[in-house]
Homo-oligomer: A and B are copies of this chain.
C-alpha cells in the first residue's frame, strides 16, 4: 500500500460526506465533480503540464480557446461557480460575468439592462470594468477622467485629461473587451456632479477594431494572471449617448438637471454581493495548496529515526504545527465567507422587501474585515505551504507558484486590505460612540461592544483552568474580550486626540490611530470568524465529522489567542500559566487531528487535473511526475 493509501485508511470520518457539507449539498457537489470531469476529459480543456510556463501571448491564446470551448460545452452557472481555480492563469473574459453584467444589473435601468446586460449574457458583447487610473486606485473620488454633458446632442463626452488619468489595470480590457463600464467625474454646465458610471464601447463588435478616439492596449508583464489582458485605456473626447450613463440611482434630464433617483445605499448593498466570487476563491486556493503539501509531506522522507527508518516529514512536530493550523484557517475562511454572503444577500432582501437598512453597516464591517484578513491569512498561509514543500515548492510543477501569483493581488485589489481594515475600525469607533451615548450596545454581531461597558470593572478571566481551554465558549469569550478591549482602547485614545489635543477625527485616524484601527479589524475578524465556525459546527449531525471539525474549530480559536498573546496579557484577559494550558491543549488537538489532515483537505475534492501538481497528485509518485514534467517544452535544450 502506498503512503497515501495508508493515510486514507486512518481517516476517522466519511470524506465524501464532508465534501457534501463543503459544497453545500450532494447535488451541487455532483455538479462540481461533473464539471471537473468535463474539464479533465477534453483534450483542449484539460490542464497540460506542457503548457506551464509558456509565453504570455500563447497563454492568452490558449486560454481564449479554452474559454470558447467551455462556453460551448458547459453551463455558464457551472463556469461561474467552479472554473476559476481549475485554470491557473485566470480565465479570459470572465469579467464579463464577474463585474460587467452585475454592475449593469445593479446600477442600470431596465432599458440599460436590455441594452447592455442582455447582449453580454449572450456573449454578443464582451464587457469589462475599468475604474482604476494610473494615479488613483483606492481613492476613487479623485479619479480624473471626465464626462461632460452636452445638452445639444444629449450625449456625454468622455475624456482623459492627463497621462496620470489613463485607466489602468482593467482586466480583459487590453485586447478582449468590446465594452467597458468606466467611472468618470460628471460635469454639467461646468459643475461637478460626482463620480458616475458609464458604459463605453471601445471596439467594434464585428471587426474588433478599436473605435475612434479610443487608445487601448495591454499593460505588459505581471507577476501572474498571464491569461488576463489587463489593460490601459485613454479617451480622446469620445461621445456616448445619454443612455450610457447607468441611471438606476442618478439621472440627467435632457436639459441637464442632475438628480438622485433612489437611495444609493441600495447600490452599495448590491455591489457588496460582487465580492462573493472573489472571497469564495481565497479558501479554495489555500485548499488546493494544502492538498498538495499534505500529500507530499506524507510521502517525502528526510532523516532517520533511532531504528534507522526514514521519517516522513509529516511526522515532525514542526511540519504538523506549520500545516494543521492552516487547515483550520482554511475552514475558518470557508465558513466565514459563506456566512458573510448569506448576510449580504439577506441585507439586500430586507432592503428590497421592507426598505430595512438596519443591517447595512454590519454587513460592511463583516465583509470588509473578512476580505482583508481572509486574503492576508490565506496568502501568507500559501507562502508557508510553499516553504513546507522544500526545494520542490519552487518548481512550477509543484503547482504552488501559480497559486501564489493568483493570490498575490487579492490583498490589494477589490479594496486595499489596509484601507478596508481602517474603515472597519472607524465604523466600530462610531458604534462605540453611539453605544456610549445611548447606554446600550447596538443589536449586531458586534455584540462584544457590550463588554465595553464592563471594561476594567467586570472582566472575568475566561480561561482559568486547563479544562476551560477545551471549552469552545470560553475561548469565544476570550476572543470577544480581545476585540472589545481594542475598541475601547482606541476609543479612549481618540478622545484624548480630539479632546485634549484638538485634532480632527481624520487627522487622528490618519496620523495616530492607524495601527489600533487595524488591530480592531483584525481581532473583529478573529472573533466573528471563530463564532461563525462554532455556529456551523453546532449544526453538524454526522458525529465523526462533527468531532473533527470541532477540534479544528477549537484549534482555530486557540491559535488566534496565541497570535494575540501580548495583547491579551496586556489587557489582563489572560495571564501566565493559562498560556501553558492553551499550548498544551493546542498540542493535543494537533495530535488528534494529524491522522485526519489528509481527509480534511481531500474533502475539498479538487481532482488531479485541477490540482495540477507533480508532487501533490492523488496517486502519489511525486518523483516520477516531477522527472517527466520537468523535461517538457520549458526545459531549455
Interface, chain A (partner B; CB < 8 A): 52-57, 60, 132, 134-139, 142, 163-164, 166, 168-169, 174-175, 217-224, 229, 232, 300-306, 310-311, 315-318, 321, 383, 386-387, 390-391, 393-397, 401, 404, 408-409, 411-413, 416-418, 422, 504, 506-507, 510-515, 518, 562, 565-567, 569-570, 572, 576, 579, 623-624, 626-627, 629-632, 634-637
Contact = CB atoms under 8 A, between A and B. Distances in A.
Top 5 A-B pairs, shortest CB-CB distance? A565-B566, A53-B221, A318-B514, A221-B396, A317-B514
A57 B220 CA distance: 19
A219 B387 CA distance: 19
Contacts of A168: 391, 626
A203 to B, nearest CB: 14
Contact of A566 (B163, B394, B518, B579): B579
Contacts of A394: 222-224, 408-409, 412
A636 B60 contact: yes
Contact of A390 (B138, B306, B404, B579): B138
A316 B53 contact: no
22 contacts: A55-B55, A56-B634, A132-B391, A137-B391, A163-B624, A163-B627, A175-B636, A217-B635, A218-B636, A219-B631, A220-B635, A222-B396, A223-B396, A306-B504, A316-B511, A318-B422, A318-B514, A387-B412, A394-B409, A565-B565, A565-B570, A570-B579
Contacts of A310: 139, 142
Given A391-B413, A565-B565, A305 B506 contact: yes
Nearest to A515: B321
A47 to B, nearest CB: 14
A395 B222 contact: yes
B515 A302 contact: no
Contacts of A510: 305, 311, 315-317
A57 B637 CA distance: 8
Contacts of A54: 55
A396 B225 CA distance: 12
A18 to B, nearest CB: 28
Contacts of A391: 132, 137, 168-169, 409, 412-413
A634 B221 contact: yes
A482 to B, nearest CB: 13
A139 B303 contact: yes
Given A135-B623, A397-B221, A569-B566, A387 B413 contact: no
Contacts of A515: 317-318, 321
Contacts of A572: 576
A635 B163 contact: no
Contacts of A316: 510-511, 514
A237 to B, nearest CB: 20
A467 B304 CA distance: 52
Nearest to A633: B220
A111 to B, nearest CB: 34
Nearest to A517: B318
Given A221-B395, A395-B219, A514-B317, A138 B635 contact: no
Contacts of A217: 631, 635, 637
A569 B580 CA distance: 13
A315 B510 CA distance: 8
Contacts of A579: 566, 570
A222 B397 CA distance: 8
A624 to B, nearest CB: 6
